[in-house]
Structure formats: structure tokens, C-alpha cells
Chain A
Amino acid sequence: DTGVSQNPRHKITKRGQNVTFRCDPISEHNRLYWYRQTLGQGPEFLTYFQNEAQLEKSRLLSDRFSAERPKGSFSTLEIQRTEQGDSAMYLCASSRGPNEKLFFGSGTQLSVL
């Protein structure tokens, strides 16, 4: 099954360190999304890509966050100078196109100590 794959599953880091997460979408999906979810809340939209172009970034995405999707395949999300408030589940999802269903990966659980 070629579902959405995320790595690592868990990441524990110290405040101030940089972290990078990877997402491999379903192969025929040209849209890729990053969401963040904290306990007791629904996923919050961070950013999305149409192929390799990053078309929208939420105001939640501070300058410490950067996402890339080179060649329109996998994507990386980097957080620089992590803060305790960055602790959350980071979810990647992909879809075929507009108004299509999102399929989520297993997520990366980030804990900032």
C-alpha cells in the first residue's frame, strides 16, 4: 500500500534546536498539505503545495517554519529554534486535487523539552 508516509514518528528535542520532518505523499497526488494538531483540538492548516509550488501559508506558520517540496514529490517541514509551544503532532496529507479527500499520514509527534 502506497499511503502517505511520514518520518520520524516521534521526535524529542531541546528548546532552541532545529528539527526537520519528511512526508512522502501518495504517488499520484499532486497536492500536499501540512497540518498541526494539539491535544483536544482538530488539525490546523499550516501550508500546502500544488506540485512543487507552495501556494498558501497560514499565519500560524511563523518565520521559524519552512516547508519545501522539491520536484513535487516528497516534502520537508523544518522548524528552527524550536520552542515548547511547537510541541504537537505534525500531520501531512495529500489529495488528487481541488475539493478532493485528504489522506493523512501517521504524523510526527514533536516534543520540545
Chain B
Amino acid sequence: QKEVEQNSGPLSVPEGAIASLNCTYSDRGSQSFFWYRQYSGKSPELIMFIYSNGDKEDGRFTAQLNKASQYVSLLIRDSQPSDSATYLCAVAPNDYKLSFGAGTTVTVRA
């Protein structure tokens, strides 16, 4: 079992719609959870982080965490063409490294 698994995608959504990305993790002791955005040929860029159960909103992005279900998600509201990228879920199973999922590629259709 992989440490971090994401829905495989690709995910195609129309402009203005909500994109929903899912991630599950195997280490129940994980404490920190991150979403990175990666444009093709570029390095990952942090867009959200969450430490506690529940929802965290930042602009058009909402991260949701459920530690009991070992599940973290990212919602992108009012999707824009500039949101087209690969979104990486990252989990900290300990205090010194992040484990990444394979990513979900999102395409926003104008």
C-alpha cells in the first residue's frame, strides 16, 4: 500500500465549476497535510496546509481533513484556466519528511 494515494485523474472541469480532489494516507500518526500545485516542467508550489480535522478555506481553495478516515481533500471553487495543473497531496508521517502522492492533473476548460 502506498503511503499517499490520490484519485488518478485526469480531472476535466468547465470554467467556473468546482474541482474536487481526494487523497488518502496510510500512516494514522500523520500530523500535517499539504497541497502543492505543480505546473508542467515547474517545481511544486505550496497552496494549502491543514493540521486539524475540519475545513480550512483560503480564497477559492478549501482543504478538508478527516483523520479518522485518513482522508484529505481539496476543493477549488470557481475554477479558472490558470488552475490547470497537477495537484500533489503531501503528508508528514513524522516530523522530518513529506510523502507525496502521484498527483491529480486538473484541466479547466474555458
Contacts and interface: CB of A to CB of B under 8 A. Distances in A.
Given A40-B102, A99-B31, A99-B32, A104 B96 contact: no
A42 B88 contact: yes
A33 B98 CA distance: 10
Interface string B1-45: 000100000000000000000000000000110100000001111
For the complex, would chain A's binding face be called helix, strand, loop or mixed by DSSP majority? strand
Given A40-B102, A42-B4, A99-B31, A56 B46 contact: no
B97 A101 contact: no
Contacts of A48: 96-97
A91 B31 contact: no
B102 A41 contact: yes
B96 A55 contact: yes
Interface residues of B, number: 23
Nearest to A100: B32
Contact of A107 (B43, B46, B92): B43
B62 to A, nearest CB: 18
A103 interface: yes
Interface of A: 31, 33, 35, 40-45, 48, 50, 55-56, 89, 91, 98-99, 101-107
